[in-house]
Structure 1
């Protein structure tokens, strides 16, 4: 109640109340009642006694469904918490994310954060319980709600100003594909603005990677990606959730990434931010927010935990029929782990422990893999829903092998490749992978990055040097060739999506402008068609976000041009996109181009021709 009263006394809220009163022609008392009701809807009602109750409940639940919660890099987090206010910015893959993070912090003696939760979770009896555990609620949209926006912003400012740790999910919703979603920047912008109101505070933003051996919501995600409506959260749904006690879900992983000092980001983007702030110039804030949003997502992925199921999924899905001889699978597990050990993706990445056999057995227990006995040796396979979910686990960790996968892909249809040509191609293609997969790659130092990965592949015998300037693949039929081929197939669906999108854009709208919304719709329709024809089970073929990210990157690379017409965005292709699309075709083979061109059978878009 004290905090709500503070919120309602804020100048921004009083001003919004006066505007609302003038528009609605209501009394001041009624407007204040309305504002108080909004603040009550938003505000947490933190109660330490409830934390002890939740500790008992969650300890029992987690023992029933998990084989142990794994926390990573807690020591660094403890050091940061000693002298900084913490703002947690986790990946979002499950409703269990916020429970696991708060529970993990509580067990480590750290204060659980106030959590920005979707208002959809504010239903009886969960809403009140979470509220007393530190949850505060946020509506999906603030559009046209000036008073609510002022109340929420002021509430966030009050709790940040009081030094409470806060948590929000920058993706805005749970990922249905396993990949990180493009970050939404509203909450981050409010956090930055709150800090600038009291810039003497020391604030650290903490990226958090959350991963699962087996996802509780897996079955519903598969349905939603195929077009089923998302089920609203309710007490009835909560009762149905008791079915989870019939399964084992392995171990969830919570990895705290390298913290981001907020004042360092400000100084990086605008060295004179303090003097500009004093003069009333806040023009640098959007650039700071953009930088932090990207940096956080890259650091989330840098803290990835490569669990057994993620590693095995990358390998098994590289086989055309999602089936592989057991000895070949074990060999590739050893090879992939060796690659990651010799040249780690980052200092914070966690690799699976144990032998290849132990890694495979651990994955098989949670993923529902099938083992078929055969006279020439056992075969490991995945079918049905289990195969679809394997793509989810692969997608959550595939970024760690994206660079070697890109390089390996060039040898799919070529026995040898010029190193200079390889560097040039990677330089052109990497911006797309970096933006979609939030790769921790310095594009300004691309040649050195490529060379380090080439050296690693050569050291492992997966590529061979032919003089100073040429690389060759191993002999066809060798174990090394099988590993290189599997490595190149990790990003196959991604490259297929890029190829398909580029060819369709060149075909239509081409260099004639068309509404971007129509272009996006046609890309998705074609992807769905390709999925059916090719038998692909990749969930990213149904994810609108990925097509939007690809278009945004084409625009950033000046391969696609965007303009505003009467409030609607229109796009047209640059003449260079035709040539650029052949880069993607080269990674897949000429037969792919022909099959995709045959699939381009969509209605003509409304253009300005």
Structure 2
């Protein structure tokens, strides 16, 4: 590099260090982008911008990558390490310069012709200042093309957007592979330049998203659609109003539903949230985001399907996606959030509002469906919560399938559209609404969201610990339908006029699959682990040493027999996890002369059950194994397998577990082997025995499934007492007995007497043929399950259940409980 050029770069670099603060994607380019530092690396930028080049250089030096300003010497041939696809515009608009990229690519390819061991890695790098998609008018489109800015405009862009920039390293192209497979002639070099240019265009679309419509133009287009025209005419006839009034009603509904996306609002919220998260959270962790970026770059239309724990979910997920270099999605938010000032803010951040029910309002349902179809057709990513509302218990709820059905219908209207559903596990160490959830489950009326409620919620914000966003295994809709419903393409032409017969069944299966995949991506943390341990103790208290031993047991189980590949387990010692949990001030420490006692008060125990429930599915099978060994000491391995096979369908449906019946036996053997390795179980030939010296550890592990088995016992004993009982009544009476049991035996978990949990349980009992088609109990099967459960719960609880199950089925008692 010449002296003058070096001075020029030094002078230009000074303001860049002050004005530019770029984010690098992926966070570790050497690992995630598969870069081989031993081989030659050539960077490719979209156009010739010294600001972009120096921004790239700053990040390369930070990441330990080769300097893009340095030349590359290969076999005595010196070539630049950075190639520009376009030279870009100049201040003199009449001046054009032929780009050198094709000739440089040809020079690099020629080197591979004479050196068979050479493999130059071509690394496209996208440097972006600002991420405004612009509006659909031609003038705005031109204004949004930041890569066409000349030097003066680029300077002001960097001045304004320098801290809203990122450097994205795309996956490298192997010139050795290209030379071997396609040759090294001039046409290949030009094609290579076009391929790289297309990758830049796709990357820009992934990061920025499609251009935004003018809001009124969007409404006019929707009103002109056949479906909405028909719905407006039906509204006119059914309500006996004028056509003008019906169209006005339709327009008002569009105003109520539609988002009003604003890039400036996104930028402002990013500044506010970055400041807020740094003070509220000790860390935000995103797992598996690279896979989602890859899907988006391949042209998939992404539908994000997260679990729903808190109102924080909306903000947290959009924040994480934005910082992962992905365009923020349009979010289906509950109409309860459409109050001032939250509603207008959320709307500008991409929220579109959805009512709790579409019943008896055909115009509304048609407009919402057409709006969703329009979002997909324009290529926007969409986010909705398949559970419908926030989980009050910490477990996944039964999925609501309305929006999912509309998603599949949208795909059927354009079968070439690649729509992929991405399940997302969102986890926290502190959810500010948990105390409210506990009150609602105990009968308190849910308070309507409003300005005062929002202010009160903000006052509660404090140390929220760690936050987790784990992206699960994506579900490409077309691929799934081709495997499960081969005839689905035959319905494409009919979707406008009728609903396919297979749709409802397919939607239910997809919904359950998504819930299972959300649980497969669970995040384990200090709070949910410590709560799992302490709530297993009847007194909700353990000595520090006991707690640490139990934490070590659970960590080894998770690491040695992982529930699923996508779960995340903290790489910390039990001592470090406990120290972090204590720092969160959610546990109580009582000091004595011998050992500290870690405990939970009654109120703390109720709230901490929420976090325990987040990961209960990870430990339920090891706990069940331990419980059966306690209930049947010296049990044959085959008998244990049989009992688990009977109980597992109930657990699978309730906790959305991943294993099929065929996968269960080898998994149980692996878990038994791990318990034996830890010295918790003694395996003698085919029998399983307790180990007296490790009895307490196994006992606490067994207690995780304790309340679940108690609920099953309630329902099965009720059914045995009254084989003709109605299924709805069975679920309701089970909840009543569970509530009494929780008072008498001091059971302090959130979900214990939740009627929704019992409804799921009863439905599974019907599917597993404990209840016949006529609604009567199958006595033999019910009695067998009652006998198994009788040995798995304590005698005092069993006796209480037996008494209440008999009394609840007596007319006199039923009349008294009504009074």
Q: TM-score band (shorter)? A: over 0.9
1:126 match: 342
Q: Which moved more, 1:1-10 or 1:27-36?
A: 1-10
Match of 1:22 among 237, 241, 245: 237
TM-score w.r.t. the length of structure 1 is 0.94
The C-alpha deviation readout for 1:9-33, integer Å capped at 9, x for no partner, is 2211111111111111111111011
Question: For 1:433-512, what aligned pairs fall within 5 Å after superposition?
Answer: 433-467=651-685, 469-475=686-692, 478=693, 480-507=694-721, 510-512=722-724
Contact 2:602 2:748 in 1 (8 A): no
Q: What's the secondary structure of 1:540's corresponding residue? A: coil
Distance 1:276 1:194 in 2: 12
Superposition map of 1:199-598 within 5 A? 199-245=415-461, 247-275=462-490, 277=492, 282-467=500-685, 469-475=686-692, 478=693, 480-507=694-721, 510-514=722-726, 516-561=727-772, 571-575=775-779, 576-598=781-803
Structure 1 residue 279: deviation in Å?
Answer: 7.2
Q: Distance in 2 between matches of 1:321 and 1:591?
A: 16
Q: Which has the larger radius of gyration?
A: 2
Question: Is the counterpart of residue 139 in structure 1 residue 355 in structure 2?
Answer: yes
1: CA distance, partners of 2:503 / 2:564? 29
Equivalent residue, structure 1, for 2:7: none
Q: Is the CA contact 1:432–1:550 (under 8 Å) kept in the aligned structure 2?
A: yes
Offset at 1:459? Answer: 2.4
Q: Distance in 2 between matches of 1:248 and 1:368?
A: 11
Contact 2:413 2:492 survives alignment (8 Å): no
Match of 2:228 among 7, 13, 32: 13
CA distance in 1, matches of 2:723, 2:493: 47
What SS is found at the alignment partner of 1:180?
coil
**Pick aligned residue for 2:808 from 595, 602, 605:** 602
Identify the residue that residue 568 of structure 1 maps to in structure 2. none
Partner-residue secondary structure (3-state), 2:792: helix
Question: Is contact 1:46-1:133 (8 Å) kept?
Answer: yes
Deviations 1:305-352 (A, max 9, x none): 000111111111111100111111101111110111111111111112
Alignment deviations for residues 250-298 of structure 1 (CA, whole Å, 9 cap, x no partner): 1111111111111121022112322454577822222221221111111
Within 5 Å, give how 1:27-176 maps onto structure 2.
Answer: 27-83=242-298, 84-176=300-392
**Deviates most, 30-39 or 56-65:** 56-65
* 1:91/1:210 contact within 8 Å kept: yes
Q: Distance in 2 between matches of 1:90 and 1:487?
A: 29
User: 1:288 and 1:512, CA in 2 relative to 1: closer, same or farther beyond 3 A?
Assistant: closer
Contact 1:114 1:134 in 2 (8 A): yes
Q: CA contact under 8 A between 1:405 and 1:489: conserved in structure 2?
A: yes
Give the TM-score, by structure 2 length: 0.70
Q: Which residue in 2 is equivalent to 1:567?
A: none
In structure 1, how many angstroms separate the alpha carbons of the residues matched to 2:594 and 2:723? Answer: 55
**3-state DSSP class of the match of 2:375?**
helix
* Cα distance, 1:502 vs structure 2: 1.3
SS at match of 1:317: helix
The number of equivalent residue pairs is: 591
Q: Deviations over 1:31-90 (max 9, x none)?
A: 011111111111111111110111122222222322222211111221122121100000
> Over aligned residue pairs, what C-alpha RMSD do you find?
1.7
In 2, are the aligned partners of 1:413 and 1:589 still within 8 Å (CA)?
Answer: no
- Matches of 1:589 and 1:535 in 2, distance apart? 14
Quick check: 1:585–1:592 contact (8 Å CA) kept in 2? Answer: no
More relative contact order, 1 or 2 (CA 8 Å, 6+ apart): 1
Equivalent residues of 2:333, 2:352 under 8 A apart: yes
